[in-house]
Chain A
């Protein structure tokens, strides 16, 4: 079971390791600045370091188990994560309008479920190669697999995470071979599904949340203000930035949720165009390296798994950076590996562990 092998060390993926941990390290340096006060290291920094420790343990554990065992256990893992999601619906107290935390706020199953979903979909596409999917009706089963957790997350009123989960699952659509008429059909199903939810499932406040996403000007108190302040923060960074702990926008607390959703604007303000381009490039390289791992994987499951992990890391980055730069509407999605948030960091590191797993075993037969 424990597939630790000398070759694993010989083949260690230093590139992935370097890319991931430089992002995490820059994120923590940035967190120290955005939560800076005279009282020394903030509680947030301490917690983030603790989460990093937990995440690393999780990463090592994930790498140690041959990923092909994950294929065998994909179904029980998926079912368990769904049960956990359902349990939050029943058990967890409602906090701040969404009830996705379990066990005293330490576990957020909607984060973990993305990994379980990717395992499940990778297993599905290994058995039904996406290149052979030529009819829309062949998509019904994967759609059902993705629909279950999405429905549960919507019920928890975590619309941002629900959207993310849909996007992660949609990554696999790049590989199916359905004709353009089929694509029209898929879009139609999407629109119809959304309309049905809108009218039958969503309460008015949930509809408002989505409308706020479509039109942030609806609520200038929250999102409009954030967009303006974030743009000023980013723009005023200039070429080289104002320097670490010197960002006026962030240090004077003009930026709301600056250590979570708007962590990247703090970076852009303090490190300027140079610093933020470097971080974006590191991120892009990490994603491209993930695709490289997928290509070199020795089997279809590994490839599909790697692609899913790339999706897990790609989509929130798109939504977050797009929001910070004022291109996309405000959805509370933090930048993976970089922003503050224990559950998110641990999940991202577990996902990286799967990627590393596929990478290390590319020569192991």
Chain B
């Protein structure tokens, strides 16, 4: 019960404060006024204007037509369109308005060239509220079909045509993995903070730049409130708001390079399967990604109007995973491309000198195991430069052993290997740079010296992505800066406001002196430019190129040793690597190529890089030099 002290505090028995009581009539008046106004308004709507509204509600009244906003364009660095939006004509059926379904479906089957029962099944036996929901039977009619449908609409109540914007990827699968694709927003996405303002059924970017820049590319939908008659035909427009086209996104890609790079993955001989793999071309100073290819690829146009279950299943169950962006999420053993990193590390740690010679008899023995050089008869006496130019394994076995795995890993990480490069795209993989501690953790086994031997030619546990390799070689080329690769140059919103993408960023500096990097660069030039170099097929007349080949074993030799090279099943064949930068005296572009199961780096990957480098030279070197280069090229062709 109430205690006595409450009496004092709660002014028990004091009644209501007079000042409160004074103001109560004010509240009474407010309540009476507000509810009085409501009743007056009700009277106005229901009694005075009641007839008008009753009529409006009778004659099917108002429908809301949503005017879908076109998505913004995606452009290359020179403003050329890669993805745009075009009008697509569709056909819908409103079950409640179908007067004579049999007749209507028969007519539609002729007009659309489809089976009548199939169309009927798509619409189904709509009951109750579903009868008022339009069903879409066609999303992208050709002009001819549209014309014939339009001319029969008068006789087909309940059938409607409409125009909707549809995404158009101008180059079909050109740069597909950069662009990504569209898809309906998932239920789980709608429940997150990022998709506030989206509705079920909205089509959004689900991968690549389309997803990354979704908020920029999406426009603002418009709407139109229309009065329709009993046949669903519009008789009056009450109000309308135009849709606003989405903003545009300018990528760092150069379509010329992108195109030539994709072409280079076409089979050399008609009838051969297309090449698989990835290519990254990047500006060594800014990190601008100039071309990014992943093969096999897909045509994002197939997703533009909602992907069909058949195509989606095909893409997701394909053995070669066409949806995977190999350039950023394919992880491969670096093979001999790793030797440049080992060389830089060994020079910096002074375990080798540029002039010191190592004799290669064609094999190397450690304990009871013998490790072969790729050249069985041996290279003879090798300097560092010779060893890189001819990719001598024995030289690097010894250099790697002197370094030890942990020092080697330290330098590899210094080149940003084993961690994500930070490109804007999602699903980038970090690769793997092993250390002794890593192996202990992972396998509970100590690191063996033999594993260091394998690691020094990039055939151990090491894995990296083509993009990581490009970034590492860019650092060799630009004097030691690890740049952050990026794809979005700038965005422009519908009002014309421009926002720059990520500024060129130096993530870190490699722990190797500029002098040592210069030694490595010089040797890498020899790989391409010297007669005995393994990368001769990357030569571009008129522009000195530096690079490194690599041939990554996919399976242990015993699976394949008895077979001739072209008898090996494709999935057991070696991966061919080539990574190059040019021009040698002031490097600007780096190209990393992986030809998956392509064979030897020098023959299967270097020619792909060569075509991209040659195209770059044609665009960027002075006109006189280009002319000279072309005549030279034609001589080479002879």
- On A, residues with C-beta under 8 Å from B are 1, 3, 37-38, 66, 68, 71-72, 93-97, 126, 129-132, 157, 171, 174-175, 177, 205, 217, 219-221, 224-225, 228-229, 231-239, 248-249, 252-254, 268, 272-273, 276-277, 280-281, 283-284, 287-288, 291, 294-301, 303-304, 307, 310, 314, 318, 321-322, 325-327, 365
- On B, residues with C-beta under 8 Å from A are 1-2, 6, 10-24, 26-28, 30-32, 34-35, 37-39, 41-43, 45-47, 49-54, 56-58, 61-62, 64, 66, 128-129, 132, 190-193, 196-197, 221-225, 238-241
Known contacts A277-B42, A299-B12; 11 additional CB pairs below 8 A are: A96-B190, A132-B19, A205-B196, A225-B64, A235-B52, A238-B50, A280-B38, A280-B39, A283-B35, A295-B24, A318-B34
Contact present for A174 and B47 (CB under 8 Å): no
Contact present for A131 and B192 (CB under 8 Å): no
Contact present for A365 and B20 (CB under 8 Å): no
Contact present for A225 and B223 (CB under 8 Å): yes
6 A-B Cβ contacts within 8 A?
A1-B1, A205-B197, A220-B241, A238-B46, A239-B50, A299-B16
Which chain A residue has the least Cβ–Cβ distance from B238? A228
Which chain B residue has the least Cβ–Cβ distance from A221? B223
- Shortest beta-carbon distance from A246 to chain B in Å: 12
- What's the Cα separation between A52 and B97 when bound, in Å? 41
- What's the Cα separation between A239 and B53 when bound, in Å? 12
With A228-B62, A294-B16, A303-B17 known to touch, is A239 a contact of B27 (CB < 8 Å)?
no
Contact present for B197 and A130 (CB under 8 Å): no
Q: For residue B1, which residues in chain A have a CB less than 8 angstroms away from its CB? A: 1, 3
- Shortest beta-carbon distance from A294 to chain B in Å: 7
Choose one: A177, A235, A303; the contact of B53 (CB below 8 Å): A235
Contact present for A287 and B31 (CB under 8 Å): yes
- Shortest beta-carbon distance from A20 to chain B in Å: 16
With A68-B2, A93-B191, A237-B50 known to touch, is A220 a contact of B45 (CB < 8 Å)?
no
Q: For residue A294, which residues in chain B have a CB less than 8 angstroms away from its CB? A: 16, 20, 24
Contact present for A235 and B49 (CB under 8 Å): yes
Contact present for A94 and B41 (CB under 8 Å): no
Q: For residue B22, which residues in chain A have a CB less than 8 angstroms away from its CB? A: 131
Contact present for B16 and A221 (CB under 8 Å): no
- Shortest beta-carbon distance from B560 to chain A in Å: 52
Choose one: A272, A307, A325; the contact of B38 (CB below 8 Å): A325
- What's the Cα separation between A252 and B15 when bound, in Å? 54
With A68-B10, A232-B62, A325-B45 known to touch, is A174 a contact of B27 (CB < 8 Å)?
yes
Choose one: B23, B128, B197; the contact of A97 (CB below 8 Å): B197
Contact present for B12 and A365 (CB under 8 Å): yes
- What's the Cα separation between A174 and B57 when bound, in Å? 43
Contact present for A174 and B31 (CB under 8 Å): no
- What's the Cα separation between A309 and B441 when bound, in Å? 64
Contact present for A238 and B31 (CB under 8 Å): no
Contact present for A224 and B42 (CB under 8 Å): no
User: Could you say which of B24, B37, B52 has the most chain A C-beta atoms within 10 Å of its C-beta?
Assistant: B24
Counting from the closest, the 6 A-B pairs by CB-CB distance are A131-B19, A235-B53, A236-B57, A284-B35, A221-B223, A220-B223
Choose one: B14, B18, B38, B239; the contact of A321 (CB below 8 Å): B38
Choose one: B30, B61, B240; the contact of A254 (CB below 8 Å): B61
Q: For residue A234, which residues in chain B have a CB less than 8 angstroms away from its CB? A: 42, 45-46, 53
Choose one: B23, B24, B26, B193; the contact of A94 (CB below 8 Å): B193
- Shortest beta-carbon distance from B347 to chain A in Å: 52
Q: For residue A1, which residues in chain B have a CB less than 8 angstroms away from its CB? A: 1
Choose one: B28, B38, B42, B61; the contact of A232 (CB below 8 Å): B61
Contact present for B10 and A301 (CB under 8 Å): yes
- What's the Cα separation between A64 and B13 when bound, in Å? 21
Contact present for B225 and A228 (CB under 8 Å): yes
With A93-B191, A273-B46 known to touch, is A235 a contact of B54 (CB < 8 Å)?
yes
Q: For residue A281, which residues in chain B have a CB less than 8 angstroms away from its CB? A: 35, 39
Choose one: B20, B37, B38; the contact of A175 (CB below 8 Å): B20
- Shortest beta-carbon distance from B447 to chain A in Å: 44
- Shortest beta-carbon distance from A315 to chain B in Å: 10
Q: For residue A297, which residues in chain B have a CB less than 8 angstroms away from its CB? A: 16
Q: For residue A232, which residues in chain B have a CB less than 8 angstroms away from its CB? A: 53, 56-57, 61-62
- What's the Cα separation between A231 and B66 when bound, in Å? 20
- What's the Cα separation between A72 and B50 when bound, in Å? 53
Contact present for B19 and A129 (CB under 8 Å): yes
Which chain A residue has the least Cβ–Cβ distance from B96? A252
Choose one: A130, A224, A296, A322; the contact of B20 (CB below 8 Å): A130
- What's the Cα separation between A188 and B112 when bound, in Å? 65
Q: For residue A94, which residues in chain B have a CB less than 8 angstroms away from its CB? A: 191-193, 196
Q: For residue A287, which residues in chain B have a CB less than 8 angstroms away from its CB? A: 31
Q: For residue B132, which residues in chain A have a CB less than 8 angstroms away from its CB? A: 252-253
- What's the Cα separation between A217 and B225 when bound, in Å? 11
Contact present for A175 and B41 (CB under 8 Å): no
Which chain A residue has the least Cβ–Cβ distance from B53? A235
- What's the Cα separation between A326 and B224 when bound, in Å? 19
Q: For residue B46, which residues in chain A have a CB less than 8 angstroms away from its CB? A: 234-235, 237-239, 268, 272-273, 276
Contact present for B64 and A221 (CB under 8 Å): yes
Which chain B residue has the least Cβ–Cβ distance from A294? B24
Contact present for B56 and A131 (CB under 8 Å): no
Which chain B residue has the least Cβ–Cβ distance from A361? B2
- What's the Cα separation between A165 and B132 when bound, in Å? 39
Which chain B residue has the least Cβ–Cβ distance from A129? B17
Contact present for B223 and A288 (CB under 8 Å): no
Contact present for B17 and A131 (CB under 8 Å): yes
- What's the Cα separation between A277 and B56 when bound, in Å? 23
Contact present for B19 and A130 (CB under 8 Å): yes
- Shortest beta-carbon distance from A224 to chain B in Å: 7
- Shortest beta-carbon distance from A208 to chain B in Å: 8
- What's the Cα separation between A302 and B239 when bound, in Å? 51
Q: For residue A96, which residues in chain B have a CB less than 8 angstroms away from its CB? A: 190-191
Contact present for B38 and A295 (CB under 8 Å): no
Contact present for B31 and A254 (CB under 8 Å): no
- What's the Cα separation between A318 and B240 when bound, in Å? 29
- What's the Cα separation between A343 and B403 when bound, in Å? 68
- What's the Cα separation between A200 and B38 when bound, in Å? 37
Which chain A residue has the least Cβ–Cβ distance from B16? A303
- What's the Cα separation between A260 and B128 when bound, in Å? 21
Q: For residue A307, which residues in chain B have a CB less than 8 angstroms away from its CB? A: 20, 27
Contact present for A224 and B19 (CB under 8 Å): no
Which chain B residue has the least Cβ–Cβ distance from A269? B57
Q: For residue B38, which residues in chain A have a CB less than 8 angstroms away from its CB? A: 280, 321-322, 325
Contact present for A229 and B20 (CB under 8 Å): no
